[in-house]
A and B are shown apart, each in its own frame.
Chain A
Amino acid sequence: MLNMLRMDFYRLIRSKSLYICLGLLAAASVLCYWMIWLVVTPQGQAAAESLGMTAYLYTAEDFGPQILQQYDTLDMLREICMDGGAYTCILGIFTALFVYMDFHSGFLKNTLSLHRNRWKYICSKTLLAALVNLCILLLLLGLCLLLNLFFGGMLPLAGPGETLFYLSWAWLNTTAFLTLVIFISSFTRSSAAGIVVTLLLSSGLAVTLVAQFTGLFGANEWIKYTLYYNLSYGPSLYTGPGDLKTYAISLVFLTVYSVAAAVALSKRDI
């Protein structure tokens, strides 16, 4: 399994799509920080005025002080790409393409003729997703802190305990989502299916539509047990054992999707 992991890392760092993903996340972070800077700082407001962004000045008057009171660097990270699902969307598409290429290129034959236990293949892919996810999350956090510094430290820093708590469950949650993408890609062996499922689920569209329907019957409590809901509305700060629910939900999904992916791969010939 570790040999497969080594092999995947070798391919990963030579994959253009990884750098496109990182570029998109970095660009989103820079843009968001710049826009907040325009709203909350006098220098930013002056810059917005000089650029003719008059509508921005109204926003600045109304929301500028509010943002400064309510936001810290962790909230900013969540707002940039986590809560809305942009992060899972970008990483999900990347994962779908990465797994799909194994099937499409036929290289999987080279791998599975050697490592005949297909559970190992899924475990290595899940482990790869978890590691890459962790690296990108940490890079993103580092970039947010750097940007905050660059823009004059406009937002207060989140505490280390708070950051660690959030990052740990968000990492688990997003890894579970990526495992779902691995399952879909292994099951359908189609990049289109993986991308469509990623878009529908990471944006919350599928969950919202189904919740709207079940809500007609007064049954939409289930939404609180979805990955999307937990990632969007999960706690930033540990306040009590109830906050650990998000870990449990992520772990259950991670296990279920991993098993489903391994079973799907084992049942079909290559």
Chain B
Amino acid sequence: MNQNHERSAAYAVETMALTKMYQNKTAVNRLDMRVREGSIYGFIGRNGAGKSTTLKMLCGLASPTSGDIRLFGRPDNDAFAARRIGCLIESAGLYPHMTARQNAVMRAKCIGLTDYSSVDKVLEDTGLAAAGSKKVKRFSMGMKQRLGIALALLGNPDLLILDEPINGLDPEGVREIRQLILRLNQEGKTFIISSHILGELSKISTHYGIIKDGSLVDQISGEELAQNCKDYFRIEVDDAKRALALILERAPKLFPEVTDARTIRLYGLQEGAWLNQLLIENHVQVYSSGFHHMDLEEYFLARMDGQTMGKGEEKNA
């Protein structure tokens, strides 16, 4: 039992066969999510894939139909575990007729804080120190998002669950929030971030979870992703089948992937000039060729299409 507890304690969040059904529709299907303490977990999925529902269940805003959630090794209904979480789910919940500071004080009172210096600190951290006395109804969407993040930071939580935190932020705001997240992560805070802006997510995430139709199709670390997203040589020819036979005859150690009748991806190739020459000499027409690097977006789209990645390995954490 102690071993189990220790194993669970290494995870900030652990879900076991987490399922959420709305009447006959399964929104989240037997989800086994594991978020290590101190990590930044990028949670990716298409619209309606079940991201927000999952995050709501983690935050106690939706009840699971079945399955378990453990937060820092404790059941999710544990009051101490709940106190260690700050969240921003969908839009920032704010009273429009109150000022930014008053909204933050409300949240501070809700937590049970009596010293409101932390309110000023989080407003400063999120770049809202000057707008503290401004009513929220006069805020832009980006400012509301910042305030939502500020509210989530109150009480110094160990885990921050942020659903689309950079929505509506200007480029400078995105950079500031990114730096804030990285700084807080260095201080030991764990993040679960859901975002459609994959380029931004890939700059900060240490782990990724990809959800499709309510099921977690992939859960990998940043290192594993880098491994799976190795550089590849992409070549477009008139006859991929013949070209592939020629290439494998000359270089049998390469890992090829035929994406359509005219396109081949080659993993493990260092230099491409000889390949072009080979194909031209053998009367295979080459339309284009060059080295590419698969980014998170390509990886995500490939996983959504059900492709296996890299060298054909299925990598599940």
Inter-subunit contact B60/A113 (CB<8 Å):
yes
Q: Tell me the complex Cα distance, A6–B114, Å.
A: 11
Q: Tell me, in angstroms, the Cα distance from A108 to B89 when the chains sit together.
A: 11
Q: Is the pair B77, A114 in contact by a Cβ cutoff of 8 Å? A: no
Q: Which residue of A lies closest to B105 (CB)?
A: A10
Task: Give the complex CA separation of A10 and B107 in angstroms.
Answer: 11
Residues of B contacting A270 with CB < 8 Å?
56, 61-62
Given A11-B106, A107-B95, A3 and B59 touching (CB < 8 A)? no
Interface centre among B61, B85, B87 (most CB of A within 10 A): B61
Q: B residues within 8 A CB of A113?
A: 59-61, 82, 85, 87, 89
What mask results when residues 1 to 28 of chain A are scored 1 for a CB within 8 Å of chain B, else 0? 0011011001100101000000000000
CB distance from B165 to the nearest CB of A (A): 14
* A146 vs B79: C-alpha distance when bound (angstroms): 48
What residues of chain B lie closer than 8 Å to A115, measured between beta carbons?
82, 110
Interface residues of B in 105-133 (CB under 8 A from A): 105-107, 109-112
B102 touching A14, Cβ below 8 Å: yes
Number of A residues near B (Cβ < 8 Å) is 24
Judged by a CB distance under 8 angstroms, whether B272 is at the interface is no
Q: Does A239 contact B (CB under 8 A)?
A: no
Which residues of the other chain, B, contact A10 by a CB distance below 8 angstroms? 102, 105-106, 109
Interface assignment of A224: CB less than 8 Å from any CB of chain B = no
| A11 to B95 CA separation, bound complex (whole angstroms) | 9
Interface contact B77-A107, CB-CB below 8 Å: no
A114 touches B94 (CB 8 A): no
A114 contacts B82, C-beta separation under 8 Å? yes
**A221 contacts B by Cβ under 8 Å:** no
A112-158 residues at the B interface, CB under 8 angstroms: 112-117
B111 touches A3 (CB 8 A): yes
Give the complex CA separation of A113 and B92 in angstroms: 13
A101: which B residues are within 8 A, CB to CB? 95
A7 vs B112: C-alpha distance in the bound complex, in angstroms?
9
- Report the Cα distance A99→B105, complex, angstroms: 19
Highest count of chain B CB atoms <10 Å: which of A101, A108, A112, A113: A113
A109 touching B82, Cβ below 8 Å: no
CA distance A117 to B110 in the complex (A): 14
Within 8 A of B (CB), among A172-216: none
Who on chain A is nearest to B56 by CB?
A269
Which residues on the A side are within 8 Å of B103 (C-beta)? 107
Residue of B nearest to A16 (CB): B97
Q: Which residues of A contact B110 (CB under 8 A)?
A: 3-4, 7, 110-111, 114-115
Q: Tell me whether B61 and A105 are in contact (CB under 8 A).
A: no
Once bound together, how far apart are the Cα atoms of A107 and B63, in whole Å? 18
Residue of B nearest to A109 (CB): B93
- In the complex, how many angstroms separate the beta carbon of B141 from the nearest chain A beta carbon? 14
CB of B94 within 8 A of CB of A107, answer yes
A265 to chain B, nearest CB (A): 11
In the bound complex, residues from chain A placing their C-beta under 8 Å from that of B79 are 116
CB neighbours of A159 from chain B (8 A): none
- Compute how far the CA of A153 lies from the CA of B204 in the bound complex, rounded to whole angstroms: 75
Query: Nearest chain-B residue to A267 (Cβ)?
Result: B63
Inter-chain contacts of A105 with B (CB < 8 A)? 93-96
Known contacts A3-B110, A11-B106, A14-B98, A110 near B151 by CB under 8 Å: yes
Given A114-B82, A269-B63, residue A3 in contact with residue B112 (CB < 8 A): yes
Complex CA–CA separation, A116 to B103 (angstroms) = 20
User: How far is B175's CA from A158's CA once the two chains are assembled, in angstroms?
Assistant: 69
**Neighbouring A residues of B97 by C-beta, 8 Å:** 14, 16
Q: How far, in Å, is B74 (CB) from chain A's closest CB?
A: 12
Chosen A-B contacts, 6 in total, with CB atoms closer than 8 Å, are: A3-B112, A4-B110, A14-B102, A109-B61, A113-B85, A114-B111
Instruction: Name A's B-contacting residues (CB within 8 A).
Output: 3-4, 6-7, 10-11, 14, 16, 101, 105-117, 269-270
Beyond contacts A14-B102, A106-B92: 9 other A-B pairs, Cβ-Cβ < 8 A, are A3-B112, A7-B109, A7-B110, A106-B93, A107-B103, A109-B93, A112-B61, A113-B61, A115-B82
